[in-house]
Amino acid sequence: MAAAAILPFSLMLNSCEEFTPVFTGKYPEPEQWEPVQMTATHTIADLARMYTPGSPFEIEDEIVIAGKVSTSDQAGNFYRSLYIQDETGGIEIKMGKTGLYNEYKPGQTVYVACKGLWLGMYGYKTPNDYGGGNGMVQLGFEDLTGEYETSYLEVQYLIDRHVFRGETGDPVEPEIITESELPDADETQADNPNVGRLVTIRGLKYADEIFTLLYVNGNQDRDASENRVFLSDGTYNITTWAMSEQKVKEHLLAGDWDAVTVGSGNDDFGPVSEYRDEMVRYATPANVSQYFTMGEREIQIRTSGYCRFADQEIDPGVLDGTRTIDATGVLTMYQGNIQFVLLDQTGIKVNE
C-alpha cells in the first residue's frame, strides 16, 4: 500500500489530464474532397524549437508544417486529437472532434497552416530532486481558462482554416528504436526525432507497478483532494491495460483497494472501505499507466478506460516476468518521463 506522504512523487510521474468517452462507431461518409498540395516551410522539429517551457504563444508568422497521420481514434485510445509526423518528429494537433479516423486516414499527408494557432506544451514540470522535465510540444488554440497551455480547435471553421488534407498513402511504418534512442527528460521533438512518432520498442519487462487516479464521486469536483484516490507503487490486483466502469466496480466490490487512503499529498480522509458504496454508485472508467522497463529506462504504457481494449487482460507470463512484450505506439513525454500510447490492442506482441 502506498502511503499518502509519498503520493506527490507518484503524481509527478503521471499525467492526470482525463481521457473521456470517444465515439468509435461509423459516421456517414464525408463529402468528397480534393487533396491539397502545399509546401512546408518548417519541419516539426523547427516548430518545436520555437517553444520555451512555460511560455505558450500565438504563432504570428506564415508557417506551414506537413506530416503523415500516424494515429487513429477508432479504438478510443486517442481523444479529439491526432498526431502527424515527419522525419524530425511527431506533433499532436488538438482537433476538438471525435471520429477523426473517418476523415484523416493513417498515412495521409496533412498540412497545418500555423499562423493564428498556439504552440504550447502539455506535461511540463520544473526539474527537481524527484524528477520532472519536458512534456509534449503541441498545436492547438488559445486556452482561455488558463488550465492548459493550448486548447482544442473547437469549431469546424477553425479546423478548416488551419488543417488541410493531402494525398492518402500507406500507413506509417513504425521505427524500431533501442534503449539508447529513447528521449531524455529534457528532450522534445526539437532534440529527438522519436518523440511524438509511431515507434516499436522491444523486450519490455513488466515492472510490477501501476498508476491510476480514481474518484469517490466521478460527478463531483475532480480536483478536490477529498474526492481523489491514487493507486501507485504497486499493482493493486489490476491486471488489465485500463479499467471500464464495470471493472472499477468489480475491484471495489472485491475489496482490492479497501486499505488505500482517500486524499492527495498529506491529506487523509480515511480508507476506501469507508467510501466503497459511494464509489461503486458513482464509478467511472479509469485510465491506467502500466509500468515497464527497457534496460535501465522506465516506460509507462498509458491506456484510456474508455477505449475498446481497456479490460483486456495482460498476459500472465508478462505479469510474472517470464515473458516480455514488444510495443508499437506513439512515444510521448510527460514531466520528463516516457508515456507510451497504443493505437489499439494489436500494438502489443507477447514474446515467448
For the beta sheet containing 57-58, the strands, ordered from the edge strand earlier in sequence to the opposite edge, are 57-58, 118-122, 136-140, 89-93, 82-86, 64-69, 109-113, 163-165
Distance of CA 113 to the CA centre of its chain: 24
Assign residue 157 a region (left: φ > 0; alpha: ψ between -120 and 50; beta: otherwise).
Answer: alpha
Average pLDDT of 138-157? 95
- β-strand pairing of 89-93 with 82-86: antiparallel
pLDDT at 246 over 50: yes
pLDDT at 147 over 50: yes
Digit-coded pLDDT (tens) for 277-292 = 999 999 999 999 999 9
Q: Quickly count helices (H) and strands (E) in the chain.
A: 6, 18
* Residue % of the chain over a pLDDT of 90: 89
C-alpha cell at position 18 = 482525463
Please state the pTM of the whole predicted model. 0.90
| Distance in angstroms (rounded) separating the CA atoms of residues 42 and 113 | 11
- β-strand pairing of 198-215 with 175-177: parallel
Instruction: Give the pLDDT of residue 23.
Output: 59
Instruction: Give the pLDDT of residue 33.
Output: 77
pLDDT at 15 over 70: no
| Distance in angstroms (rounded) separating the CA atoms of residues 203 and 72 | 25
Instruction: Give the pLDDT of residue 251.
Output: 98
Assign residue 276 a region (left: φ > 0; alpha: ψ between -120 and 50; beta: otherwise).
Answer: alpha
Q: Give, in degrees to the nearest 5, the angle at Cα 291 between 123 and 15.
A: 20
Q: How far is CA 104 from CA 30, 74, 81, 186, in A?
A: 11, 11, 11, 31
Where do the structural domains in the chain lie, given as residue ranges? 18-172, 200-350
pLDDT at 26 over 90: no
Radius of gyration of the chain (CA): 20
Class of domain 18-172: mainly beta
Average pLDDT of 137-147? 95
Q: Would you give the end-to-end CA distance of the chain in angstroms? A: 32
| Distance in angstroms (rounded) separating the CA atoms of residues 244 and 249 | 9
Q: What are phi and psi of 48, to 5 degrees?
A: -60, -30
